[in-house]
Structure 1
Amino acid sequence: MPYAICYLNGEFQPLAEARISPLDRGFLFADSVYEVLPVFDGRMFRFREHFDRLARSLREIRIESPHTHEEWLALLEELIRRNGGGTMYVYVQVTRGMEFGRNHTFPAGAKPSVFALASQLPTLTPELRATGLTAITVEDFRWGRCDIKSTALLANVLAKQQAADAGAHEAIFIRGDDVLEGSSTSIFVIRNGVVATPANSNRILPGTTRDVGLELATGVMPVEVRSIRLAELQAADEVWISAATRDVVPITRIDSKPVGTGKPGPYWQKLEAAFADLRKRLEGTPAL
């Protein structure tokens, strides 16, 4: 079994044997937060930014972080090593812990639970690289604190399944006339050579990979961080989505209608090359 070793509450152990209490608040209430970050040739990408975001999510739900950045780094590097190194992604979840009962209020003295696993990093197939991905739009029905990377993802799961049922890869949340983000991705809209993405707020997750995309796009084209209207999405020349396990990938059909030419565009091709160059430049450098 590949990626067979996980970390749970101080121990590296076989993933198939890992167990948590049914009284853990992550299980009962989704009272927990998480992070996902890619690993290229054994090196975690944007480690500091991901764990700055984890620390922020923990503060927002009033859980004290169980580890410093340095401790997280050591823990995950060991997890990567035990799973063979190379290219993968790692998932980290911190819950408020457990108590003997089920109470909505925070339990006094609960010790946070920490879980981490490694898994295969998805790749964009040659076919999808040539054709791009597809998406549908859905009305946003999530809670009001999407800026917290919470494990309470039922609305995202339902939206993603709605996309799958429609034969699409992603669902793009729309609230009123505002384009927000995908069910598990950030979004970019390109029109007349300008790339735009929504500003951070409590309605979207601040995307670490989105920030990389913005940094790289700034050297190629004008960048705007602002509200995006549905009509702009529908009239876009190119649309991209980004996620830690995907980099930035093109969306070429939305609600069964082509985006631009209906094929991955030239700006995305430039950005993809810039991502590859960045990863190469980071090879062998410290993750933190």
Structure 2
Amino acid sequence: RIRNPYSRSQWQEMTHKLILLQAESSGVAATESDQLTYIQITRGVALRDHVMPTDITPTVFAMVSLLRPPSMEQRTEGVACVSADDFRWEKAHIKSTSLLGAVFARQISFDAGATETVMFRDGFLSEAAASNVWVVKDGKLMGVPTDNLVLEGIRYGLIEDICRELGIPFELRRISREEVFDADELLLSSATKEVLAITTLDGQRVGHPPHRGRPGPVCARLYAAYQDAKLASAG
């Protein structure tokens, strides 16, 4: 029920202006670095009430920062993750400014010296604190359905498209905890992590020989195709 406050051209103009301002303040030319644009739109200013107000102007917050992708070591070695119960409310598909659930989940992995927290609800995979999780078994890439328990990342559709182009079998279904821990490969995807291999989960090495505890072949193919798609979209 929040109306779009700007036209497409106005969004583009605002983003372009922020990128130039960020480049000026950082001393790094906009053409020489990747930028991350973060936008939040809230309903707007109104008298305090639990009823959604109408006919008010949405509030827009936007910022641009340097995009810091995973390091080369993380790319080649993969990352460690931990698991936890998904304790969030049942509207996880809503991307709101209340990030408390994600903050609590991320803190679990931070305290454990890990990169992400892989969450399970009633014994089935949901997602990570700020990433979607993918399971590879026998060459097939599997993810969970995009229902109210999962925030569909902006890379969800792209991952499916890449699988189709590469001929990698793709399936969305409920995935049990046992299947996750028996996977050949585990992957994270997000705007900042792109496609990143999980190589240990709860201290257990992911996968089976010869790629156990190492990024696997499906991850390598998806990552390479992801980079191609990213460059193509940039024109």
- Superposition deviation, residue 105 in structure 1: 2.4
Say whether residues 1:97 and 2:36 are aligned partners.
Answer: no
Residue 68 of structure 1: aligned partner = 7
Residue in structure 2 matched with residue 113 of structure 1 by the alignment:
59
Paired residues for 1:210-229 under 5 Å:
210-218=156-164, 219-229=166-176
**Of 236, 243, 255, the match for 2:183:** 236
Q: Report the Cα offset of residue 210 of structure 1.
A: 2.4
After superposition, the C-alpha distances for 1:263-287 in whole angstroms (9 at most, x for unaligned) are 1111111111111222233343xxx
**Partner in structure 2 of residue 274 of structure 1:** 225
Among candidates 233, 243, 246, match of residue 193 of structure 2: 246
- Displacement of 1:181 after TM fit? 0.7
- Determine the C-alpha separation between the residues in 1 that align with 2:21 and 2:99: 29
C-alpha offsets along residues 182-210 of structure 1, whole Å, 9 cap, x if unaligned?
A: 11011110011111001110111122212
Q: Deviations over 1:7-66 (max 9, x none)?
A: xxxxxxxxxxxxxxxxxxxxxxxxxxxxxxxxxxxxxxxxxxxxxxxxxxxxxxx21121
Question: Do the aligned partners of 1:189 and 1:240 also contact (CA within 8 Å) in 2?
Answer: yes
Gaps of 5+ in 2: 24-29
Q: C-alpha displacement at 1:83, in angstroms?
A: 2.4
Deviation of 1:255 (Å): 0.9
Map residues 50-199 of structure 1 onto 2, 5 A cutoff: 62-84=1-23, 85-86=30-31, 87-99=34-46, 102-199=48-145
Distance in 1 (CA, whole Å) between partners of 2:52 and 2:234 is: 43
Counterpart of 2:188, as a letter, is I
What pairs up with 1:20-35 in 2 under 5 angstroms?
none
Matched, 1:265 2:216: yes
SS in structure 2 at match of 1:174: strand
**Per the alignment, in what secondary structure is the counterpart of residue 218 of structure 2?**
helix
Q: Which ranges of 4 or more aligned residues in structure 1 deviate by more than 4 Å?
A: none
Question: What 5-or-longer segments of structure 1 have no aligned partner?
Answer: 1-61
Structure 1 position 108, deviation (Å): 4.9
Aligned residues: 222
- Residue matched to 1:52: none
SS at match of 1:248: strand
Aligned residues of 1:213 and 1:248 also touching (Cα < 8 A): no
Cα deviation, residue 130, structure 1: 2.0
* CA deviation string 1:238-280 (max 9, x = no partner): 0001111121111111111111100111111111111122223
Scaled by the length of structure 1, the TM-score of the pair is 0.73
* Cα distance between partner residues in 2 of 1:164 and 1:126: 20
Letter in 2 for 1:254: L
State the Cα RMSD in Å. 1.5
CA distance in 2, matches of 1:183, 1:149: 13
